[in-house]
Amino acid sequence: NVVALIFAGLAYLLGSLSFAVLVSRVMGMADPRTYGSGNPGATNVLRSGNKLAAILTLLLDAFKGWLAVWLGLVIGPGFGLSAPGVALVAVAVFLGHLYPVFFHFKGGKGVATAAGVLLAVQPWLGLATLATWLIVAGFFRYSSLAALVAAVFAPFYYWFGGGLAWNVDPALLLALMIISALLIWRHKSNIGKLMRGEESRIGRKK
Ligand code: G3P
């Protein structure tokens, strides 16, 4: 319906704000698409050596995912946005980050934005997924590997948490599966590097 399309369109535009590029620009730093992995994301901004810029990128990219879904859940119903509409909003903000209209459709891999989406869907779901990321990152020091493992677990957490802490919405479950699948797809080059033992560890320049 029209309401869902308007919400999803706005979510896509919000997702299109690539904060890795914007934060770097505002802070007078090099464009993250020109160094390291070339990915506009917090992990790559950290390779610049500027921790504050990386943290701001992480927080703002997560915040946009959170905000889109939160608005869909809180003010959406007042406009007649249904549960499948919220699921569409979640996918739309994520797609904005991956394929941003403001940056020639060349965006990031969606880890921070997906975390924001999960936190808005259900704080416990978001925290469980973040904990998964932290455990894997703590052991192996690979941001990409941590994201891949967390992405595999997130839809299961949502599914199994249903009945315990929340009601599982089938449309949202599908949205989370789509988001995880796209996130994994966007990590193709990382998967190759991990298998060849060439992936760079968190905070390393190379
Ligand atoms: O946030 C994306 C991360 O999982 C991998 O980033 O720059 O190492 O490809 P990067």
In this predicted model, what pLDDT tens digit does every residue of 23-56 receive, in sequence order? 999 999 999 999 999 999 999 999 999 999 999 9
Q: Using the mean position of ligand 1's atoms as its centre, give its distance from the Cα of residue 54 in Å.
A: 12
Please, what is the Cα angle at 122 between 79 and 152, to 5 degrees?
120
pLDDT (tens digit per residue) in 73-113: 999 999 999 999 999 999 999 999 999 999 999 999 999 99
206 pLDDT above the threshold of 70: no
When pLDDT is averaged across residues 60-85 and rounded to a whole number, the result is 97
205 pLDDT above the threshold of 80: no
Q: Distance between CA atoms of 203 and 42, rounded to whole angstroms?
A: 10
pLDDT band at 203; cut points 50, 70, 90: confident
Nearest CA to ligand 1 atom 5: 144
122 pLDDT above the threshold of 90: yes
Which atom belonging to ligand 1 lies closest to the Cα atom of 147? 4
Whether this prediction's pTM lies above 0.80 is answered by: yes
List the structure tokens of 184: 């994994």
Q: Distance between CA atoms of 170 and 146, rounded to whole angstroms?
A: 26
Nearest CA to ligand 1 atom 6: 43
pLDDT of residue 127: 98
Q: Using the mean position of ligand 1's atoms as its centre, give its distance from the Cα of residue 37 in Å.
A: 7
189 pLDDT above the threshold of 90: yes
Is ipTM strictly over 0.85?
yes
3-state SS of the chain is: CHHHHHHHHHHHHHHCCCHHHHHHHHCCCCCHHHCCCCCCCHHHHHCCCCHHHHHHHHHHHHHHHHHHHHHHHHCCHHHCCCHHHHHHHHHHHHHHHHCCHHHCCCCCCCHHHHHHHHHHHCHHHHHHHHHHHHHHHHHHCCHHHHHHHHHHHHHHHHHHHECCCECCCHHHHHHHHHHHHHHHHHCHHHHHHHHHCCCCCCCCCC
Residue of 187, 193, 200 to mutate, ligand 1, most atoms within 8 A of C-beta: 187
Residue of 21, 39, 206 to mutate, ligand 1, most atoms within 8 A of C-beta: 39
165 pLDDT above the threshold of 90: no
Nearest CA to ligand 1 atom 7: 44
What's the chain's average pLDDT? Answer: 97
Confirm if 176 and 158 have CB atoms less than 8 A apart: yes
